[in-house]
A = this chain, B = another copy of it.
Amino acid sequence: MRPLQDTESTTSGPDRRVKGAPRVTANPLSGVHESALPVAPSRGRLRPLGIGEVRITGGFWGERQRTNAAATLEHCLRWMHHVGWIDNFRAAVEGRLPRDRRGREFSDSDVYKLIEAMAWEHGRTGDPGPDAAIRELTAIIAPVQEDDGYLNTAFGRPGQPGRYSDLEWGHELYCYGHLIQAGVARARTAGADDVFVTIARRAADHVCDVFGPDGLDGVCGHPEIEMALVELARYTGEQRYLDQAVAFVERRGHGTLADIEFGRTYYQDDVPVREADVFRGHAVRALYLASGAVDVAVESRDDDLLDAVVRQWEATVARRTYITGGMGSQHMDEAFGDDFVLPPDRAYSETCAGVASVMLSWRLLLATGEPRFADLAERTLYNVVAASPAADGRSFFYANTLHQRRRGAVPAADTDSPRAASSMRAPWFAVSCCPPNVARTLAGLATYLVTAGPSGLQIHQYADAVVSTHLDDGAPVGFETTTGYPHDGVVTVRITEAPGTPWTLSLRVPAWATRGGVLVEPDGRRRPVEPGTADVHRRFAVGEVVRLELPTSPRWVAADPRIDAVRGTAAVERGPLVMCVESPDLPAGHEVDDVRVDAASAPADADGTVTVAGSYEQVGDASWPYQSPASSSGTRTPARIPLVPYFTWAERGPSTMRVWLPTLTPEGGPADEHT
């Protein structure tokens, strides 16, 4: 295990910062400087830019950031008060626990995730509102922390289970993980002296005291502490936090947690991280653990561990991931299913797993520079993270189905909903980890767009944005991106600051852009581009424009035949968007399950409205559904079938929806009939 590098010093291997280069880039709205970002590895192929260096200014993600700021943060705060999770802290101080405690044993963590979201929001815009809210919450939380740094409203008091008496399910270290991530966010946006930062550091010191080499040889049933400790190590330069993260990763997989009915696989205690072949068990746990393992591998220079996570990522993406990028196909244990078991109707695809997948893919991108990680992040951002919140930012999907067969009931506006009731978005859940996860991801989203490397700058995600940073030699550089993405495939990059020396602007060409992608150089020359990256290397001048034109005409997609659940169906994608059929767009009397499509005929796109050739087919009822193949009956009505982006579904009242659509055989009959 290698020592943590001072983030300012050069080391062997790619170095991203020259000693002594002044930090001059700051966010003009908030004044926070470039290091305000969630993940700041001390080494890797690419250097992420911080909130001080990149701002989203409009468009698809700009709108979502505004809604997040104007509605979602307040919504989460109001609900956390309403369901008592904030009062739990007051109750702790006032001696009213356990009597008055409300919520699950991990409810503290959702308050911390909201604080993290507020910290990024304050750093993003300088808005004093989130800053004041953090101070208010800090005042409520601080007195609950005990002298030794312990902090948890569910354990340790008379009438409560003892500290660390239930590592399997207690979530204590998980709560610290979110506390520490929020503390790092606050430190990077408001400075190290903030009281909340102190709380987080004291908790981290406590964790190292209790679980260090001379302490408890345990792990948490829910990974999260690992990546948090590494980030704190990066922020503070303190080796101790990295050592503790390494210990937690190395301890896992040896059966120290209890065997349970779901199996130790559930919390990835079946196999050591570096020996596993694929992500398995509870999806959020698996992905948070993998993220922490990448952080540990990067800081420890542990290529074997990094390779192991890459290998697991590859196997999971090839065999255990939904077309939306969603992960998790079992409701029973919110877990990955077996290879190729990916039922659309029973998709779990937890929003938090989507967030975690983006976090993991981001870390792998920074470490390796490989665009496939940004490809998956894009798919997941547009089809899971953007799908979860309603357009008004006040209700959410927890589980993200790909096939809604019947209209659900409208969730009550003032009561929390069961977590897997995914027919419509709900304002809150008994387990409400997803809304604050969406909030912190959206608030900090700008940091996922652009990186800097030895050769120049790399654009990974497309949005209306302003970038102002510097190259490795310290020379200032900047550009504005303008785009109608995801609906429009044209991305315009206009240089706003340029050094006199040549550098490389690299634009990701998504894997789905297999035909027709074009890059237009500043001199107007057009060249075709393939999936991967399109690079422009030149001595840029201010005002010059590079334009990427991606082919966003809708396209058919078929699944690997080993995914039995979608045999005989096809889906439509348009740019990065997965499309779906939803009942409000169908003629009266027709349901989504009546739809059949002709996947041999190209989809049409008229002014953004996508349709495909197909028919509506209604099947007669039978007393027993398994009959001789010749005995099907039904009526068929040819039609053009309208599709809409999946992320927009369930915004027009109770509806039915499906992504994977049964196909017609070339002769016109259903593929599953044999006469």
Contact = CB atoms under 8 A, between A and B. Distances in A.
A313 to B, nearest CB: 10
Nearest to A262: B418
22 contacts: A261-B430, A318-B621, A321-B625, A330-B332, A331-B331, A332-B332, A341-B345, A345-B564, A511-B624, A514-B628, A557-B628, A557-B629, A561-B617, A561-B632, A561-B670, A561-B673, A564-B569, A567-B672, A568-B671, A600-B674, A663-B674, A665-B671
A625 B567 contact: no
Interface in A644-668: 660, 662-663, 665-666
Contacts of A561: 617, 619, 632, 662, 670, 672-673
A558 B323 contact: no
Contacts of A330: 331-332, 346
Contacts of A372: 623
A568 B626 CA distance: 13
A569 B557 CA distance: 20
Interface of A: 261, 263, 314, 317-319, 321, 323, 330-333, 337-341, 343-346, 372, 403, 405-406, 418-419, 430, 511, 514, 555-565, 567-571, 593, 599-600, 617, 619, 621-629, 632, 660, 662-663, 665-666, 670-674
Nearest to A263: B418
A568 B672 CA distance: 4
A223 B285 CA distance: 36
Given A558-B673, A563-B625, 12 more contacts: A314-B623, A318-B622, A323-B626, A330-B332, A332-B333, A338-B406, A341-B345, A557-B627, A558-B626, A558-B628, A558-B629, A567-B671
A23 B511 CA distance: 81
A627 B558 contact: yes
A152 to B, nearest CB: 23
The 8 closest A-B pairs by CB, nearest first: A568-B568, A560-B625, A332-B332, A558-B629, A567-B568, A671-B671, A331-B332, A599-B674
Contacts of A511: 624
Given A559-B625, A626-B558, A570 B346 contact: no
A318 B623 contact: yes
Contact of A629 (B556, B565, B621): B556
A77 to B, nearest CB: 25
A531 to B, nearest CB: 11
Nearest to A620: B560
A654 to B, nearest CB: 15
Nearest to A406: B338
Contacts of A626: 323, 557-560, 571
Contact of A564 (B403, B419, B430, B514): B403
A580 to B, nearest CB: 14
Contact of A343 (B339, B343, B600, B621): B343
Nearest to A403: B564
A339 B405 contact: yes
A422 to B, nearest CB: 12
Contacts of A571: 626
A330 B348 CA distance: 13
The residue among A511, A564, A569, A624 with the most chain B CB atoms within 10 A of its own CB is: A564
A70 to B, nearest CB: 32
Nearest to A558: B629
A571 B626 CA distance: 9
Nearest to A596: B561
Contact of A674 (B345, B570, B625): B570
Contact of A622 (B337, B560, B599, B629): B560
A559 B626 CA distance: 5
Contact of A570 (B314, B418, B629): B629
A104 to B, nearest CB: 11
Contacts of A674: 556, 558, 570, 599-600, 663, 666
Nearest to A341: B345
A493 B395 CA distance: 67
Contacts of A621: 318
Contacts of A673: 558, 561
